[in-house]
C-alpha cells in the first residue's frame, strides 16, 4: 500500500523531538509537509505558515498531526476533517470536552480517522501492567507526578493560559495511564489546585479519587520539582504491589522488574496507521474528563507569583 502522506502542524519541541523521528521510522507514513507560522521547517520538505495555505496550495496530504497548543486545535482539526483528512491530536486532544466530541462526530460523518494520542499509554510497562492488574483486586493507588516546568516547557506561555491546563499538561499523562490499567472506573472526590497569583492555570494539585469498589486513589502533581523528576504510579493489590516508574517505562511487580526502551511515539504512529487502514477512530476522553472534573470541583489556593 502507498504510504500515508502526513503533514505535521506546529513545529515545536514535541514535534521535533518525537513526531518527526516516529514518522521517519514508520514505513506506513511519508512526511509530505510541515506547517508553522514561526519555524522555517525542514530542508527538502514543503513548508507553509498555515494549514489553510497547505490545503489550498498543496502538496496533497492524507493526514495531519496537530502538535499545536490545545486552544487552537479545534479549528485546525475541523478544517482538515472537512476535506476528509485523517487527524492525529496531540494530548490533550482539545481545550474542552465539547469540542472533542464535536470533532469526533464530524470525523464519523465524513469517514475520516480521528485519533487522540495518549502517548504515555504506549510506554513499555503499561500493557503488561494492565494485564497483571486485570487478575488482581486493587486496594489502593498512589500517583506522584512531579517535574520542573522550566526544563520541559521553557518560555511556553500557552500552558499557563485558560485551556493550557497548567500542571495537568503533564499530569494528564498519569491519568491516561491509570484510566487504562485500572480494572474499575474511578471518579473524583476532592481536589486542591494551587495557582500562582500571576498565572491562570495551576502549578500544583492534590487530588483524591475513589474507584467503584471504594479503593482510594491519590494523585500528587507539582511543576516545581528540582533535581530528579518523579513519574511514579504505585498500585497496592491483594497479590502485592505494582509500580510503574519513569513515566511507565519501568514496571516492578512481585516477580521482578522490567526495563525497556522508550517506544511511545512509534507505538502511537503504529496505532494511527492501523486506525486509518481500518477506517476507524480512537477518541478516548476519559483523562480529559477527569481534569475537567478537577477544575469544576477543585478548591483554589493562591500562592506567590511564578516566573520562568
* CATH number of domain containing 223: 3.30.360.10
pTM over 0.85: yes
Q: Is residue 231 in some structural domain? A: yes
- For residues 64-80, give the mean pLDDT: 97
Q: Does 113 have pLDDT greater than 90?
A: yes
Q: Is residue 282 in some structural domain? A: no
Is residue 156 very low, low, confident or very high in pLDDT (cuts 50, 70, 90)?
A: confident
Range of the domain at 43: 4-116
Q: Beta 114-116 vs 216-222: how paired, if at all?
A: unpaired
Note the pLDDT of residue 263. Answer: 87
25 Cβ contact partners less than 8 Å away, ≥ 6 residues apart = 266
Mean model confidence pLDDT for the chain: 96
Note the pLDDT of residue 262. Answer: 74
Q: Does 308 have pLDDT greater than 90?
A: no
How far apart, in whole angstroms, are the C-alpha atoms of residue 204 and residue 213? 28
Give residue-wise pLDDT tens across range 211-263: 999 999 999 999 999 999 999 999 999 999 999 999 999 999 999 987 777 78
Catalytic residue list:
91
How far apart, in whole angstroms, are the C-alpha atoms of residue 223 and residue 163? 17
How far apart, in whole angstroms, are the C-alpha atoms of residue 23 and residue 273? 11
Same structural domain, 106 and 181: no
Domain final residue, candidates 60, 94, 116: 116
Note the pLDDT of residue 107. Answer: 98
Give residue-wise pLDDT tens across range 77-87: 999 999 999 99
3-class secondary structure, 23: helix
Amino acid at each position: 500500500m502507498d504510504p500515508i502522506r502526513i503533514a505535521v502542524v506546529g513545529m515545536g519541541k514535541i514535534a521535533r523531538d518525537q513526531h518527526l523521528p516516529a514518522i521517519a521510522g514508520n514505513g506506513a507514513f511519508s512526511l509530505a509537509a510541515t506547517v508553522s507560522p514561526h519555524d522555517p521547517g525542514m530542508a527538502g520538505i514543503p513548508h507553509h505558515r498555515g494549514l489553510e495555505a497547505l490545503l489550498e496550495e498543496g502538496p496533497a496530504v492524507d493526514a495531519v498531526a496537530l502538535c499545536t497548543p490545545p486552544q487552537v486545535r479545534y479549528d485546525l482539526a475541523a478544517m482538515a476533517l472537512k476535506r476528509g483528512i485523517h487527524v492525529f491530536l496531540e494530548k490533550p486532544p482539545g481545550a474542552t470536552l465539547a469540542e472533542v466530541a464535536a470533532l469526533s462526530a464530524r470525523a464519523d460523518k465524513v469517514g475520516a480517522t480521528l485519533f487522540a494520542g495518549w502517548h504515555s499509554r504506549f510506554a513499555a510497562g503499561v500493557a503488561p501492567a494492565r494485564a497483571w492488574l486485570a487478575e488482581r483486586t486493587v486496594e489502593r493507588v498512589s500517583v506522584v507526578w512531579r517535574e520542573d516546568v522550566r526544563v520541559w516547557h521553557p518560555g511556553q506561555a500557552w500552558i499557563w493560559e485558560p485551556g493550557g491546563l497548567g500542571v495537568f499538561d503533564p499530569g494528564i499523562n498519569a491519568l491516561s495511564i491509570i484510566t487504562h490499567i485500572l480494572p474499575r472506573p474511578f471518579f473524583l472526590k476532592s481536589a486542591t489546585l494551587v495557582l500562582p497569583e500571576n498565572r491562570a492555570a495551576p502549578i500544583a494539585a492534590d487530588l483524591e479519587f475513589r474507584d467503584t469498589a471504594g479503593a482510594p486513589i491519590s494523585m500528587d502533581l507539582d511543576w516545581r520539582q528540582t533535581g530528579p523528576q518523579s513519574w511514579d504510579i504505585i498500585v497496592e493489590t491483594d497479590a502485592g504491589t505494582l509500580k510503574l516508574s519513569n513515566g511507565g517505562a519501568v514496571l516492578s511487580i512481585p516477580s521482578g522488574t522490567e526495563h525497556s526502551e522508550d517506544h511511545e511515539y512509534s507505538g502511537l504512529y503504529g496505532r494511527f496507521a492501523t486506525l486509518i487502514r481500518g477506517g476507524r477512530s480512537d477518541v478516548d476522553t476519559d483523562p480529559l474528563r477527569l481534569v475537567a472534573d478537577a477544575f469544576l470541583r477543585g478548591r483554589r489556593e493562591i500562592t506567590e507569583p511564578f516566573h520562568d
